[in-house]
Structure 1
C-alpha cells in the first residue's frame, strides 16, 4: 500500500484529531444512534484537549456523510479547525476510534482502507477495449481504445479470394491487439494500478497478453467471464476480479516475508532487512525504508519515540531528537511516526497477518525491507 494520498497530513504541525467511524444507515433509528455516536466522538476529543473549532469541523464532516457516501465507514483527520482529509474505508472498523494526538493516527487506516490493490480491468473484443479501474472506491472509467472495425469477421469459404480476405481479417485482429496492448500499458501506468485482469474475446485477449510489456504482463491475469458488450457483467466475473486482487496481496506478502527472512540476520554481516524500533528509527532517519512491515497490534507499535516537524526527525530519546535539530520534540507512537516517514519517503506499507508463523514476522510487530544493504556497525 502506498501512502502518497496522506501527504496533506504532513504539511501541518498538529496536534491532530483522528476519528474512525462506522457506516451510515438509512433508517431513522440508526440515524439517531449515529447522532449519539458523533456526540460521543466529539466529547472524547474535547476530553483529550482538542480545540473547539477542530471538534466542530469533525462534527460537521461526520454529520454530512450519508449512507450512499459511506458504505463501510470513514476516517476523518482534522487540525486547526479544519478537516484536512476524509477517507472512505474498505471495511467497517470493529470499534469507533477518536483521539487527539501529536501525529495523525494512521495505523488503523492501513488496516481498514485495506491492502486492496488497484485492479485495471480490460474488457476486450476484436475491435478495441474499455478499461475500468477497480479499487476501494466505486469502479472508475479508465479510458478506452478503438481499433479498426473492418474487416473483423472471417468466412467459411476455401476460395482463394476468401482466404485472402481471412488473412486481412487476422491482420486486423493482430493490429488491434497491438493497439489495445499499447493503450492498456499506458492506462496501467497512468492509473497507478497494481494488477490487470483481461476479460472478453479469448483470441484477442491472448493476443493482447502476448504484446504487453513484460512488467505489465507479470501482473496480468485473464478471466473467461464477462466481455465488452453491454450486459456482459456477471457474478463469476466479479468473483474472478476479487480473487485476483486477494491473490495479488497474498503474493506480495509472501515475497516480502521471504525477503525479510533472507535479510534478517545478526549483526555480524550486512543485511537488507531490519526489525525492532531502534533499527527502524535509524532506517527512517536515513530514508532507507523501502517497505514497512506492520503486524496489527504488535507490542512495538505503542512504544514511545520522539519526533520533530520533519518525517526524518525521529529518535528514541528526547535528547537525541534535539540533537537532530528539533528544539521542541514531541512524544508519539512508534507506528504513527514510522508510517509518517514511510508516506513522505514513498515507501510501501504491508500489513502482515498476525497468524503468520512467529519466525516469519518481525519481532515486536514492526520491520522493514531496506532500499540498500545496511552494514551494521562493529560491536
Structure 2
C-alpha cells in the first residue's frame, strides 16, 4: 500500500536533533465549542506539565484552535520545536491507542504508522445501465469530486411489448447497456493508468456490473472488487459496499505483511533478520527493505540509542556517533528504518469494540525482509 504523506513529511525531520514537543489527540468532534475549548485547555496544561518549552506549548495550543477540515472521527498529530509547529497531520479515522502528550528526544512514530492505511486511495464505481458514478475515496471519505459517466437512456428500461417489437426492444436495450458500460470502462481504465488506485470496488446493477467487468482492461480487472449490491437503487443501503471496502483494506495490509514475512524466510532465512539485535544490525547496514513491528513492542520497556547520524541506531556502543538518548526500542528501530528508506509495517491489535480486551499473547519480535541476503 502507498506510504502515507505524513510519514514522508516526518522522515527528514528525524535527522534533526530534538527535543520535540508532540500532541497526538482526537480531532475536532461534534461537541459544543465550549467543550472543545476545555479539551484544548487540558492539552495545554498537560504539555506544560511535560516540561515542554512555553513557545512550543503556545504553538501547539494555537494550532489546536484551528480546524482540520476532516469530519469526526479523526485524530491529530502535532509536532513542534523551537516554538514552531513543523508537522500538523490531520488523520482520517479515530485515534489509535492512548493520547500522547510529551516532550521527547525523538518523535513518537506509532500514531503515524498506525494511520498508514488511511492514506490508501481507491476508486469506487457505482454503475447502472444508464451510466455510472466514479469517486475517489480515502479511509471511507471522498478525496475528490465525483465523476458521472452518463450514457444513453433511450430504450431504457426494457419494455414488455411482446412479439417482434418486444424482441427488437430487448436487443436495442442490451446494445445501449453495452455501449454505456464501455464508456464507463474507458473512464475506469484511464483512472487506473494515470492515478493508480489501490483497488476498484464496483457496485450497482447486476447486469451493468457484468458488462463493465467484461470491458475493463486487464490491469483494471486485476484490482477490481465486485460488490453484489445495487447501491444506485432507491432506498439502497451502502453497508455492504462499506464492509467490502474495509475487508479489502484489511486484506491488502495482511498481504503486505505476509509477503514481507515470506521474503524474510527465503534462501533458508538469509533474506531476513529476526529479533531486535539482528534487525538493529541490518538497519545499521541499511540492508532492510521492510521492517515489521508488533504494536505491543511500544508497550515494553526495551530501549535503544537513537543516534544523531549514520547508522542511526545502536545499543550502548554508539559507534563514535552522538546519541539523542535512550528511546523506546520500537521508535528507535522505526526511525532508523525510515531514515534508510525502508518500509515500516505495524501489526496492530484489532478490536470489534473499543472496550474489548486484547488477545492474550506475547509480543512478537521485530522482523525485517532484507534488500540482499545476509552474509
TM-score normalised by L of structure 1:
0.76
Deviations 1:146-182 (A, max 9, x none): 3542655345567778756654543443333233223
Instruction: Give the equivalent residue in structure 1 for 2:354.
Output: none
1:21 and 1:329 mapped to 2: Cα distance? 29
Deviations 1:268-327 (A, max 9, x none): 934434332233334445555444322212267843133335xx63232465554xxxx5
Instruction: Give the equivalent residue in structure 1 for 2:132.
Output: 129
Instruction: Give the equivalent residue in structure 2 for 1:335.
Output: 330
Instruction: Give the equivalent residue in structure 2 for 1:295.
Output: 294
Structure 1, unmatched stretches of 5+, are none
Instruction: Give the equivalent residue in structure 1 for 2:345.
Output: 349
CA RMSD of aligned residues (A): 3.9
2:8 and 2:69 mapped to 1: Cα distance? 27
Deviations 1:182-207 (A, max 9, x none): 32233346555433221222112122
Residue aligned with 1:11, SS: helix
1:279 and 1:152 mapped to 2: Cα distance? 68
| Aligned-pair CA distance for 1:107 | 0.6
Q: Which residues in structure 2 correspond to 1:222-371 (within 5 Å)?
A: 222-228=226-232, 232=234, 234=236, 236-237=237-238, 239-256=239-256, 258-259=258-259, 262=262, 269-285=268-284, 288-298=287-297, 302-308=302-308, 313-317=311-315, 321-322=319-320, 328-331=322-325, 332-340=327-335, 342-343=337-338, 345=341, 347=343, 349-353=345-349, 362-363=364-365, 366-370=366-370
1:227 and 1:356 mapped to 2: Cα distance? 36
Contact 2:313 / 2:336 at 8 angstroms: preserved in 1? Answer: no
1:143 and 1:190 mapped to 2: Cα distance? 16
Q: Is 1:43 matched up with 2:48?
A: yes
| Aligned-pair CA distance for 1:208 | 1.7
| Aligned-pair CA distance for 1:9 | 2.0
Deviations 1:75-127 (A, max 9, x none): 21222322222223411355331122333211133335666854421121234
Structure 2, unmatched stretches of 5+, are 351-357
Contact 1:195 / 1:219 at 8 angstroms: preserved in 2? Answer: yes
Contact 1:290 / 1:369 at 8 angstroms: preserved in 2? Answer: yes
Instruction: Give the equivalent residue in structure 1 for 2:142.
Output: 139
Contact 1:269 / 1:375 at 8 angstroms: preserved in 2? Answer: no
Change (3 A) 1:71 1:356: closer
Equivalent residue pairs, number = 358
Q: Given the alignment, which residue of 61, 82, 92 partners 1:80?
A: 82
Contact 2:17 / 2:308 at 8 angstroms: preserved in 1? Answer: no
Q: Is 1:22 matched up with 2:26?
A: yes
Instruction: Give the equivalent residue in structure 1 for 2:215.
Output: 211
Higher mean alpha-carbon deviation, 113-122 vs 287-296, is at 113-122
| Aligned-pair CA distance for 1:71 | 3.4
2:46 and 2:148 mapped to 1: Cα distance? 48
Q: Which residues in structure 2 correspond to 1:136-175 (within 5 Å)?
A: 136=139, 138-144=141-147, 146=149, 148-149=151-152, 151=154, 153=156, 154-156=158-160, 166-167=170-171, 169-175=173-179
| Aligned-pair CA distance for 1:130 | 1.7
| Aligned-pair CA distance for 1:42 | 2.4
Change (3 A) 1:35 1:107: closer
Q: Is 1:102 matched up with 2:105?
A: yes
Change (3 A) 1:341 1:216: farther
Contact 1:124 / 1:199 at 8 angstroms: preserved in 2? Answer: yes
1:175 and 1:22 mapped to 2: Cα distance? 48
TM-score normalised by L of structure 2:
0.76
Residue aligned with 2:241, SS: helix
2:178 and 2:301 mapped to 1: Cα distance? 54
1:233 and 1:14 mapped to 2: Cα distance? 56
Residue aligned with 2:295, SS: coil
